[in-house]
Amino acid sequence: MKRGPKVKIARALGIALTPKAARIMERRPNPPGQHGAVTRRKVSDYKKQLVEKQRLRAQYNVSERQLRNAFAEATRQPGNPGVRLLQLLEMRLDAVVLRAGFARSIYAARQAVTHGHVLVNGQKVDRPSYRLRPGDMVALSARSRDMPAFTVPLENARPPAYLQLDRERRQARVAEIPEREQIPVQSELSLIVEYYSR
């Protein structure tokens, strides 16, 4: 996945990765570059799979190795490997911080975790990839509770059903492993499974 301006990456993949990208993509929905608005020629199956995999990576801000390892773990578990993969990614600490409304984007959520603003069950955890389990409590640290960077996104937070948010205490409890329809990610999972199953 390309590094660089987040809006450019968002336009190339066709998904808004940040609030700023969402605003710009309303005005300029085409891919970036002088040929962005030109009708593309037929796309190969491989490219469709690759782009879908990159879209998923971008939405969780994970490296290729992290996604590949998560897929390997998902295939070892019973059930649909695509849904299992999403559930593993959704249980990452940075993803839960984003879903709970403590951050405006996955990038901000990752930074909040690495800078020590987030507690898990009362203990500071600074690993964005930390895997949460049902029953775990995610909260903002005492020094971070009233920082505008966290309070502003929290005002508009609409957490999915698998998270129980307490706005006053600035904490969210993971109630259960989310079902596919509870995960707000744009992804055609079958293409990702095909990509990694080649």
pLDDT at 18: 63
**Euclidean distance between CA atoms 17 and 155, whole angstroms:** 20
Angle between helical axes of 6-13 and 45-60 (0-180°, round to 10): 140
197 touches 66 (CB < 8 A):
no
pLDDT at 190: 92
Q: What is the pTM of this model?
A: 0.83
Is residue 124 over pLDDT 70?
Answer: yes
pLDDT at 3: 57
**Euclidean distance between CA atoms 28 and 139, whole angstroms:** 37
pLDDT at 29: 61
pLDDT at 21: 57
**Euclidean distance between CA atoms 54 and 58, whole angstroms:** 6
Query: Which amino acid, residue 145?
Result: R
- What percent of the chain is modeled with pLDDT above 90? 62
Confidence of residue 15 (pLDDT cuts 50, 70, 90): low
Structural domains of the chain sorted by starting position, each given as residue range(s) with its CATH number in brackets: 6-87+184-196 (1.10.1050.10), 92-176 (3.10.290.10)
pLDDT at 7: 64
- How many Cβ atoms from other residues are within 10 Å of residue 78's Cβ? 6
**Euclidean distance between CA atoms 195 and 50, whole angstroms:** 7
